[in-house]
Amino acid sequence: MHATRDGVVVVHHDPVPRRVGSPPDPRGIPIAELDWEALAPFEIAPGIGIPTLGDVLTLVGDRADVYVEIKGIGIEELVAATIRNGSARCAVHSFDHAAIERMATVAPELPRGLLFDEYPMDPAGAMRAAAARDVWPHWQLVDSRLLERVHEVGGRVLAWTVNAPGDAAALLALGADGICSDDVRLLPR
């Protein structure tokens, strides 16, 4: 999630708006420097705009849990307010562990998670510092030792981004608590 200059939380991977399949435009203006009115007409694909988090939460309703990744800097209060205004069940996570620590204060009722792209040496300590329930390592980092260390403190391991059925099956057999994928149709049922 990123937020516009006027405080609208939007669902977009990159800090600069980009179209699907296109590299970021080096001359592009970051979402954080745009007002929603200027960003709203931008299309990530023909006829498809950048959705607001509020719109996504309304669409999902109470039919599923929504895992919100905080990417923008200093947007924790905006994210918490948007989630509170929706009806969807949500959890938040981020590579920015300090943002998750702030979320523990801003929205203690929301489950929190920590993303890792390197093997965490002390996952339990990181979880305690951020009052996090979940650990989100890159799928290739998940091993029995990591699972054991997280499970010992009551946490969950959610592996990202798993796009091969064999890899997903192996992670689930190892004891991963969840899988994040770009295409859930590829995953075992």
- Digits of tens for pLDDT over the chain (189 positions)? 999 999 999 999 999 998 877 766 656 899 999 999 999 999 988 999 999 999 999 999 999 999 999 999 999 999 999 999 999 999 999 999 999 999 999 999 999 999 999 999 999 999 999 999 999 999 999 999 999 999 999 999 999 999 999 999 999 999 999 999 998 787 666
Alpha helices in the chain (DSSP H): 36-39, 53-60, 76-85, 97-106, 123-130, 144-152, 165-174
Instruction: Indicate whether this model's pTM tops 0.95.
Output: no
Structure tokens at 99: 């943002």
Distance CA 163, CA 45 (A): 22
